[in-house]
Amino acid sequence: MESRLLAALAVLVALTVRWAVSLGPYSGAGKPPLFGDYEAQRHWQEITFNLPVDQWYFNSTSNDLLYWGLDYPPLTAYHSLLCAHVAHLLNPYWVALNASRGYESLQHKLFMRVTVLVADLLVYIPAVVLYCLCLRDVPATRKISSLFCILLYPGLILIDYGHFQHTYNSVSLGFAAWAVFAFSFGSDLLGSAAFCFALNYKQMELYHSLPFFCYLLGKCLRKGMTGRGLILLLKISVTVLGSFALCWIPFLTEAEQIFQVVRRLFPVGRGLFEDKVANVWCSLSVIFKIKNILSAETQLLLSFACTLLSLIPTCIKLTARPSFWGFKLALVSCSLSFFLYSFQVHEKSILLVSLPVCLIINDVPLMSTWFLLVSTFSMLPLLIKDGLLMSYVITTLAFLLACGTFLSIYEKTSEDALKLKPFCVSVRRYLPWFQIPGTLIRLSFLASLLVMSVLTFASAVLAPPPRLPDLFPVLVSAVSCAHFLIFLLYFNIIHLWDDNHGGNKKKIS
């Protein structure tokens, strides 16, 4: 009973922080003609409410695709339609076709913020609560600590409740969390269905798709492809096909409908990356203008090859030796590989890496906390642009304080705590002197915090040189990218050197 009360208190605090952030500004407020992501979501409600399904993704006089045309999967569109019906009941002008473009009012802002909160309460928060409360061989206080820290992760709060990203990230990430939760109990079919819903809400969930595929394939191979493994594979296939068919029913009437939706979901013409994103291509473009030197086709092939090479090791390991712990690590490594190397990446995609990192925060608290702080910092230029600097500073400090207090991150710097002992033992066979001192890890963490603090101050207060107007956003992206490359190496090491036993002690029952 005490655990439930503490969990309820953690959720209440998290909701309070979320609502406090939502009182601030949002993307594109008062900035015609396109306004921002807030207007994109409002416009999708307008389109789905007033037009028949077969016109949602097609350009027409009533649906100008150049004005925030719908470019997310069917579940996002259905969610917009549901919100639109509620909006129409409250004020029909909020979703009036064409006439409502750029509509802004305090009442409508309250409505839009509430839709995010409701989605969070229905999908994301319950998944996180159950995941944490069902951790095996973990003290009750530790479960609540993990829950509290995950729910206070500032990156997701600032984007969904501040910036107002034009999909509700908590829905797609929530479905993915439900899938991980289902897998922890061996419910492969429920997990597969939940992930299909995540993928049909936001196509960027493809970042997580390979670990799901490899984990399930590995389980089928282990059971034997001539017996129970084959039966499991058939069940999973039917579940996936059925889940996709359920989401796509209105669009299965004509082939052109399907092709048009797919074209809208994967607009490769947008380019290698958007804005100042903390990935390899944006960082390299500072000295090597990839977009100007290489053709779009070459950029696409290069990004595909680098992404594939980066994620192959962890996928092979997961397929050959499937374990739930390895599955969670593969989710981190693969999604981070996609973020660093794939085509058409924007800064908010780092949230897809942050979710699986949140799910292992109890296992590797220092490195998870460190990553989550960097992931939020990597979006600093966007947050400053939206007027969310104060919200960023306060939520980040609150998260760091919570992790330091409840997860004791500064004490978790030994080889065992970092899950690096198998790797270090292997290295010491050839280099007996090799050690990873805890003091070095703590100093590196503090140095990283200092660099991020200095860049945050400089970005907020100092004016860049006239010849280098993008100096601070570029530095933020480059520093974040350097961190992410180190994290990619770290998470790959602990997965590839894991013996499938030591890392699995603390998992879900």
Q: Quick check: pTM over 0.75? A: yes
Indicate whether 118 belongs to any domain. Answer: yes
**137 burial class (0-12, 13-18, 19+ CB within 10 angstroms)?**
exposed
Report the alpha-carbon distance of residue 73 to residue 43 in Å, rounded.
16
- Measured at the CA of 131, the angle between CA 125 and CA 134, to 5 degrees, comes to 135
The pLDDT, as a whole number, for residue 509 is: 35
- Quote the pLDDT of residue 182: 96
Q: Cα 505 to the chain's mean position, in Å? A: 26
Instruction: Tell me, yes or no, whether 326 lies in a domain.
Output: yes
Give pLDDT tens digits along the chain (509 positions).
Answer: 678 899 999 999 999 999 999 998 888 777 888 788 888 999 999 999 999 999 999 999 889 998 999 999 999 999 999 999 999 999 999 999 988 998 889 999 999 999 999 999 999 999 999 999 998 888 999 999 999 999 999 999 999 999 876 568 999 999 999 999 999 999 999 999 999 999 999 999 999 999 999 999 999 999 988 889 999 999 999 999 999 999 999 998 888 999 999 989 987 666 677 778 999 998 888 888 887 888 878 888 999 999 999 999 999 999 999 999 999 999 999 999 999 999 888 889 999 999 999 999 999 999 999 999 999 999 999 999 989 999 999 999 999 999 999 999 988 889 999 999 999 999 999 999 999 999 999 999 999 999 999 999 999 999 999 898 889 999 999 999 999 999 999 999 999 998 754 444 444 43
Q: Which of 136, 97, 29 is nearest to 504 (CA)?
A: 136
Q: Is residue 137 part of a domain?
A: yes
Range of the domain at 424: 2-29+104-504
Measured between alpha carbons, how far is 485 from 472 in angstroms, rounded to an integer? 20
224: left (phi over 0), alpha (psi -120 to 50) or beta: left
Angle between helices 296-320 and 324-341 (to 10 degrees): 170
Token pair 């790959």 is found at: 492
Residue 48 lies in a domain: no
pLDDT of residue 270: 66
Is 433 inside any structural domain?
yes
Residue 77 lies inside a defined structural domain of this protein = no
Say what the pLDDT of residue 500 is.
59
Q: Which residues contact 38 (CB under 8 A, 6 or more apart)?
A: 26, 27, 28, 29, 112, 164, 166
Could you count the other beta carbons within 10 Å of the beta carbon of residue 251?
21
Residue 389 near residue 457 (C-beta atoms within 8 A):
no
State the Cα–Cα distance between residues 190 and 26, nearest whole angstrom: 36
DSSP bridge pairs for 345 = 273
User: Across-strand partners of 273?
Assistant: 345
**162-165-166-168 Cα dihedral, nearest 10 degrees:** -90
Contact 377, 480 (CB under 8 A): yes
Residue 176 and residue 178: Cα distance in Å, rounded? Answer: 5
58: in domain:
no
- CA–CA distance, 395 with 380 (Å, rounded to integer): 13
| Rounded Cα–Cα distance for residues 421 and 423 (Å) | 5
Residues forming beta bridges with residue 508, ordered by sequence position: 135
DSSP H or E stretch at residue 184: helix 169-184
Task: Evaluate whether residue 489 is within a structural domain.
Answer: yes
- Quick check: 141 and 132 in contact, CB under 8 A? no
What is the number of structural domains in the chain? 1
Name the token pair of 439.
Answer: 């003091």
Helix, strand, or coil (residue 345): strand
Q: What was the pLDDT predicted at 165?
A: 62
Taking a C-beta distance cutoff of 8 angstroms, is the pair 340, 329 a contact? no
Name all contacts of 420-427 with Cβ < 8 Å and 24+ positions apart.
420/493, 420/494, 420/497, 421/502, 422/497, 422/498, 422/499, 422/502, 423/493, 423/494, 423/497, 426/497
447-469 burial, b if ≥16 CB within 10 A, otherwise e?
Answer: ebeeebeebbeebeeeeeeeeee
